[in-house]
Amino acid sequence: MDISQNDRAKIILSSRILSLKKNAIFFNSHDLDGLLFLKSGKLRFFLSHLEARELPLYYLNNMEVEFFEDFSDNSTSTVLDIAFIVEKNSEILLIPYSVLNLFRDKYSVMEKFLHNLTREKFSKSLLSLQNILLIPLKDRLLKFLYSLNKTEISLTHEEIAKNIGSSREVISRNLKVLEKENFLKVNRKKIIILDRSDIL
């Protein structure tokens, strides 16, 4: 059930290499739909919603693959819009959705591969939203700051908010609480993580 040499060539010839600039945002139903292989850089996927805050879903890191699909043909999801923002300058290899579609009926191995990507995306997204709903914001904030693995963090409160699905005001308030509890110090420009090993 292998993919024939002829079809393989067609797929390879259809693929494009694209450079994405930092901070660019791509929405679904865009011409970036398809199988997306990240050669370098970092993409952050989120649920976007008109006039509302962004809900973080997951990251795509170096050498990872993503099946970025348009959901707008699905009747249940007219308000569901998965988007991504380019966190670092990135280079991707894209096999367009339209090309994949030509071969999905023919090769179950390809369909199974795409199915697994959808399934993985599904569980990562649910997990992220579940965390937002169940884990107190202060804990998520601390976990996020620790995950950066730096003692000095120069992200704005706004940027942190986007990453954990909150607002600037709420982040600022919670940073103050964490400062009082001696987890960190907040400067005008930086957040300094304090060494807890001295205290704990």
Binding site for its own copies (CB under 8 A): 1, 47, 49, 52-53, 55, 69, 71, 74, 76-77, 79-80, 82, 104-112, 114-115, 118-127, 129-130, 132-134, 165
Shortest reach from residue 64's CB to its own copies, in Å:
12
Between 2 and 198, CB nearer to its own copies: 2
Query: In angstroms, rounded to a whole number, what is the distance separating the alpha carbons of residues 72 and 128?
Result: 22
Shortest reach from residue 109's CB to its own copies, in Å:
7
Q: First CA to last CA across the chain, in angstroms?
A: 58
Shortest reach from residue 125's CB to its own copies, in Å:
6
Shortest reach from residue 171's CB to its own copies, in Å:
17
Between 168 and 190, CB nearer to its own copies: 168
Query: In angstroms, rounded to a whole number, what is the distance separating the alpha carbons of residues 79 and 107?
Result: 32
Alpha carbon separation from 105 to 3, 10, 112 (Å, rounded): 12, 16, 11
CA angle at residue 153 from 147 to 159, to 5 degrees?
85
Query: In angstroms, rounded to a whole number, what is the distance separating the alpha carbons of residues 44 and 113?
Result: 22
Between 138 and 190, CB nearer to its own copies: 138
In Å, the largest CA–CA distance within the chain is: 65
Q: Hunting for tokens 């990135």 — which residue is that?
A: 90
Q: Between 97-104 and 5-14, two packed helices, what is the crossing angle to 10 degrees?
A: 160
Shortest reach from residue 49's CB to its own copies, in Å:
6
Between 4 and 19, CB nearer to its own copies: 4
Write the DSSP symbol of residue 132.
Answer: H
Between 130 and 154, CB nearer to its own copies: 130
